[in-house]
Amino acid sequence: MTTEMSFVDSALRGWKSNVERADKLFGALSPEQLEKEVAPGKNRLIYLWGHLAAVNDGLLPLLGIGERLHPEFDGMFISNPDKSVQLTVSGQSLKAAWQEINQKLWDGFLKFSASDWAQRHTAVSEEDFKREPHRNRFTALLGRTAHLAYHVGQATLAQPKA
Amino acid sequence: MTTEMSFVDSALRGWKSNVERADKLFGALSPEQLEKEVAPGKNRLIYLWGHLAAVNDGLLPLLGIGERLHPEFDGMFISNPDKSVQLTVSGQSLKAAWQEINQKLWDGFLKFSASDWAQRHTAVSEEDFKREPHRNRFTALLGRTAHLAYHVGQATLAQPKA
């Protein structure tokens, strides 16, 4: 494997392991448990899960993999804070959406060459990319991986004891 | 910049931005605020900060940058849970240690070529590395970046309102 593909491999492993941690944590929760706040007055588990699903969904167009699958999640899980909007998604449908989003991302990731990963993402113009070449797909992947870890860390605090 | 150095650049940016988030969050806390738990019955902020410092310190020998600066942190912040051992470090000395550790890491990071990043870390034998070439410095850096994000996410829950 070339050095550049070895770096892609590392990044994909990191992404996958954080998605799997989230899968395991959120996927095991009952509807009642999903209502629990991670700390008093803070986000509920269902909000964090929906937030991660919505942000990951946004990676589909950002990386040029495809259209968003669930743009309707943004109003519930990104642009408004928890408990300010009625959720129109159940834990079960969120789980299905989460899996669908991550599968489509993963299929897309595996098609990228090292050079594809180094190309600009769709939120930066060609002109800006010349000055800021770090605004590429690879950086976006690493950023979203840290975003997953950040909220999974919070979610573990409300996790029921095994 | 070559594709492989562009990936290293992305990873270093990700590391730096997470260290800076932790700097800003923990560095602004008073001794009293550092005693606060991130959620009822969970780790205190000072424990999380010490834990991150200890784990980052462990990267020095793992990546072959140098000896550990604060091996004495392990007993307080890694091998024992919070509140089970008397802390012999103040917030102020922890802050100094944190900065010293991250500076030494950063100086070491900047000396590595792309090929250095793809080499095995010191916790894997040459033989095992042949079978598991992903156990390299780059993967370790990404893993520790996610580890930072995970606990910074928790720490924000106890952060005093701005």
Nearest to A106 by CA among A41, A17, A39: A17
Query: Which residues of chain B neighbour A20 with C-beta distances below 8 Å?
Result: none
Indicate if the pLDDT at residue B162 is higher than 70.
no
Summarize pLDDT for A29-54 with one digit per residue, the tens.
999 999 999 999 999 999 999 999 99
Phi, psi for B44 (deg, rounded to 5): -80, 160
Chain A: closest CA distance from residue B138 (Å): 7
CA distance A10 to chain B (A): 5
Distance between CA atoms of residues B139 and B40, nearest Å: 34
Is the pLDDT score of A1 beyond 80? Answer: yes
Query: How many A/B residue pairs have CB atoms within 8 Å?
Result: 120
- Which of B10, B15, B82 to mutate: most A Cβ within 10 Å? B10
Rounded distance between C-alpha atoms, residue B160 and residue B35, angstroms: 12
Please give the DSSP secondary-structure letter assigned to residue B28: T
| pLDDT (average), residues B83-110 | 97
- Percent above pLDDT 70 for chain A: 99
Query: How many helices and strands in chain A, by DSSP H and E?
Result: 8, 0
Bridge partners (DSSP) of residue B37 are B44
Q: How many CA atoms lie within 13 A of A75 on its CB side?
A: 7
Q: Does A103 touch chain B (CB under 8 A)?
A: no
Asked if B162 and A162 touch (Cβ cutoff 8 Å), the reply is no
* Structural tokens at position A110: 């595996």
Higher model confidence: residue B94 or residue A160? Answer: B94
Residue A81 makes CB contacts below 8 A (sequence gap 6+) with A43
Q: Please report which confidence band the pLDDT of residue B21 belongs to, taking 50, 70 and 90 as the band edges.
A: very high
User: Is the distance from CB of B56 to CB of B152 less than 8 angstroms?
Assistant: no
Q: What is the pTM of this model?
A: 0.97
Reply yes or no on whether the pLDDT at A162 is more than 60.
no
| Both tokens assigned to B158 | 């106890």
Q: Does B5 touch chain A (CB under 8 A)?
A: no
A 6-45 residues inside an 8 A Cβ radius of B: 6-11, 13-14, 18, 38-40, 42
CB atoms within 10 A of CB A43: 22
Q: How far apart are CA B79 and CA B82, in angstroms?
A: 10
User: Which chain B positions have a beta carbon within 8 Å of A152's beta carbon?
Assistant: 150, 153
The string of pLDDT tens digits covering residues B97-142 is 999 999 999 999 999 999 999 999 999 999 999 999 999 999 999 9
Mind listing the domains of chain A with CATH numbers? 3-157 (1.20.120.450)
| pLDDT(B161) > 90 | no
What is the per-residue pLDDT for A160?
74
Mean pLDDT of the region A72-98: 97
